[in-house]
C-alpha cells in the first residue's frame, strides 16, 4: 500500500485538509478558466465540431478530427452543469456536438469511423473499439443531461448491437476494430466497461450490466497477470500476452484506472473486487511514480520502460486514490490523493488559464506544445471523483 508518515486519524485529517485545498484550486481552475476557454475557443462555430487542440492564440488550424476527441468533449461538457458550470451553455454545446458527430461519423454498418475532415468528409473509415466505447460514454452522459428520452437511448442500444454483430469474438471480449481485429487490447475494454457502468446508472436496460460483468470477468481472468497482479496492455488472439516487449508493457496510469473501475463495478453490484484493485494501485504507486508524477510505462518486471509522464496518468492516479480513500477510510490513500492532486496541478499551471501541459520529459521539463482536447475528459473525471470522495469523507 502507499506509505504515509502520518498514519491514523490525525494523518487522515491532515490529508483531508490539504486535499480540500487542492480540490478548491482544481475546481476554481475548471469552472473559471477551463470550461469558459474551451467553450469559447474549442468549438468551431463555422463548421461545427470540437477543435483538436488549443494554444494561447486559439485553435490549432484545420486539423483532421478524431472521433474520440469529439465524443470526449461532448462528455466533458455534459458533466459541466453538475460540476457547477453554466447549464444552458453546457446543454447547447452538447446538443451541437451531437448534431455534428452523429451524421459525420456513423458508418452504414452502425459503427463509427475514426477520422473526418473539418467539413465532415470521411478521411479514415476504420472503426476502432476504443472509439465506440467513448461514443457510448458520451451518449450516456448526454442522456443524463438532455433527457432526450428514446433518441440517445436508442442510439446507444443500436451501437451496442453493432458491437456484438461486428466486433464480438467467439470467446471473451471484443476485437480491436474493423478491419484491424488484432492485437487484442485491454484499453478499449476498460473504456467499454466505463461506458456500460454509466449506462447502468442512466437507464434500466439489464444488457448494460451484463456487458460490464463480462468485461470485469475478462479483466480478472485474462488481462490481469495471475502471478504479479499487474494489468497488461497487448494480447494475441488467445488472450495471451504478445511476444516481445509489447506483451510486457504495464502502464501505471491503467493500473490506477482499472482499479477505479473495479471499485465502481463492485459498488454497483455488491461484489468485491477490492483485492485486485488494491494490488493494481500498489503496483502503480510503488513502481510507477518518480518525481511526484506517474510515469508512462513499465515492463512486467516493474522496471521503467518509458520515463516520460503524460497528463492523463496523473488524473487516473487521483481517481483511484480518492475512491480507495473514500472506500477504505485509510489515511495512506488520503495522503496518496494529496500527492496525486499536486502532481496534476503542475500540468495545469501553464501561464494561460484553462490550458494544460500534456507531456513531462524525464528531465523534468514540459514539452512545449498545444493543449490536446483529448485530455479534458480525464481532467473533468478526476476533479469530479475527488469532489465525490471528499463529500463522502
Task: List the chain domain ranges.
Answer: 59-197
**Could you give phi then psi for residue 331, rounded to 5 degrees?**
-60, -35
From residue 269, give the alpha-carbon distance in Å to each of 210, 264, 273: 11, 9, 11
Length of the chain: 393
Q: What is the pLDDT of residues 303-337, one digit of tens each?
A: 999 999 999 999 999 999 999 999 999 999 999 99
CB crowding 230-257: b at 16 or more within 10 Å, else e = bbbbbbeeebebbeeeebbbbbbbbbbb
Residue 7 has pLDDT above 60, yes or no: no
Domain 59-197 annotated CATH 2.40.128.20:
no
Q: Please report the pLDDT score of residue 203 as a whole number.
A: 85
DSSP 246: G
Q: How far apart are CA 371 and CA 354, in angstroms?
A: 9
The Cβ of residue 3 has, within 10 Å, a number of other Cβ atoms equal to 10
Residue 4 has pLDDT above 70, yes or no: no
Q: How far apart are CA 261 and CA 197, in angstroms?
A: 9
Helix (H, G, I), strand (E, B) or coil at 54: strand
Residue carrying C-alpha cell 458533466: 79
Confidence (pTM): 0.96
Q: How far apart are CA 335 and CA 330, in angstroms?
A: 9
Q: Please report the pLDDT score of residue 259 as a whole number.
A: 98
From residue 339, give the alpha-carbon distance in Å to each of 14, 227, 251, 314, 316: 13, 29, 19, 10, 13
Q: Please report the pLDDT score of residue 91 as a whole number.
A: 98
In the chain, pLDDT over 70 holds for what percent of residues? 98
List the end-to-end C-alpha distance of the chain, in Å, as a whole number.
Answer: 20
Partner residues linked to 304 by β-bridges: 298
From residue 81, give the alpha-carbon distance in Å to each of 84, 280, 379: 5, 32, 15
Do 6 and 15 contact (CB within 8 A), yes or no?
Answer: yes
The Cβ of residue 183 has, within 10 Å, a number of other Cβ atoms equal to 16
**Could you give phi then psi for residue 115, rounded to 5 degrees?**
-155, 135
Which of 85-89, 258-262, 267-271 comes out lowest in average pLDDT? 267-271
Do 253 and 278 contact (CB within 8 A), yes or no?
Answer: no
Burial bucket for residue 277 (CB in 10 Å: 0-12, 13-18, 19+): buried
Which of 7-16, 81-90, 186-195, 210-219 comes out lowest in average pLDDT? 7-16
How many CA atoms lie within 13 Å of 289's alpha carbon, on the beta-carbon side? 21
Q: What is the mean pLDDT of the chain?
A: 96
In the chain, pLDDT over 90 holds for what percent of residues? 93
Q: Please report the pLDDT score of residue 231 as a whole number.
A: 98
Confidence band of 8 (pLDDT split at 50, 70, 90): low
Q: Which residues lie below 8 Å from residue 185, measured CB to CB, with a gap of 6+? A: 129, 130, 176, 233, 234, 235
Nearest CA to 232 out of 283, 294, 197, 172 is that of 283
Confidence band of 11 (pLDDT split at 50, 70, 90): confident
Amino acid at each position: 500500500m502507499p506509505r504515509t508518515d502520518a498514519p491514523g486519524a490525525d494523518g487522515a485529517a491532515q490529508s483531508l485538509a490539504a486535499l480540500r485545498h487542492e480540490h478548491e484550486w482544481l475546481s476554481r481552475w475548471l469552472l473559471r478558466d477551463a470550461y469558459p476557454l474551451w467553450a469559447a475557443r474549442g468549438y468551431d462555430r463555422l463548421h461545427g465540431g470540437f477543435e483538436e487542440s488549443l494554444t494561447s492564440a486559439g485553435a490549432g488550424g484545420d486539423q483532421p478530427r478524431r472521433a474520440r476527441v469529439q465524443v470526449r468533449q461532448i462528455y466533458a461538457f455534459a458533466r459541466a452543469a453538475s460540476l457547477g458550470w453554466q447549464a444552458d451553455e453546457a446543454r447547447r454545446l452538447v446538443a451541437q456536438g451531437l448534431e455534428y458527430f452523429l451524421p459525420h461519423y456513423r458508418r452504414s454498418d452502425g459503427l463509427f469511423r475514426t477520422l473526418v475532415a473539418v467539413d465532415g468528409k470521411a478521411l479514415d473509415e476504420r472503426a476502432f473499439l476504443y472509439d465506440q466505447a467513448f461514443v457510448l460514454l458520451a451518449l450516456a452522459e448526454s442522456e443524463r443531461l438532455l433527457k432526450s428520452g428514446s433518441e440517445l437511448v436508442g442510439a446507444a442500444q443500436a451501437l451496442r448491437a453493432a458491437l456484438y454483430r461486428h466486433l464480438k469474438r467467439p470467446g471473451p471480449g471484443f476485437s480491436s476494430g474493423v478491419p484491424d481485429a488484432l492485437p487484442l487490447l485491454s484499453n478499449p475494454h476498460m473504456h467499454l466497461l466505463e461506458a456500460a457502468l454509466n449506462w447502468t446508472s442512466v437507464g434500466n436496460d439489464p444488457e448494460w450490466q451484463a456487458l460490464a460483468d463480462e468485461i470485469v470477468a475478462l479483466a480478472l481472468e485474462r488481462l490481469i497477470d495471475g502471478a504479479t497482479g499487474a494489468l497488461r496492455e497487448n494480447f494475441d488472439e488467445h488472450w495471451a500476452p504478445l511476444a516481445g516487449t509489447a506483451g510486457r508493457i504495464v502502464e501505471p496510469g491503467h493500473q490506477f484506472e482499472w482499479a477505479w473501475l473495479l471499485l465502481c463495478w463492485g459498488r454497483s453490484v455488491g461484489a468485491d473486487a477490492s483485492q485486485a484493485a488494491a494490488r493494481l494501485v500498489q503496483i502503480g504507486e510503488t513502481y510507477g511514480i518518480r518525481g511526484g508524477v506517474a510515469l508512462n510505462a513499465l515492463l512486467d518486471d516493474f522496471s521503467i520502460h518509458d520515463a516520460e509522464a503524460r497528463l492523463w496518468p496523473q488524473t487516473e492516479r487521483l481517481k483511484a486514490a480518492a475512491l480507495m480513500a473514500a472506500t477504505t477510510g485509510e489515511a495512506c490513500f488520503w495522503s496518496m490523493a494529496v500527492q496525486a492532486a499536486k502532481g496534476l496541478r503542475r500540468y495545469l499551471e501553464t501561464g494561460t488559464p484553462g490550458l494544460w501541459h500534456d507531456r513531462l520529459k524525464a528531465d523534468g521539463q514540459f514539452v512545449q506544445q498545444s493543449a490536446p482536447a483529448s485530455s479534458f475528459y480525464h481532467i473533468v473525471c478526476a476533479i469530479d471523483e475527488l469532489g465525490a470522495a471528499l463529500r463522502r469523507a
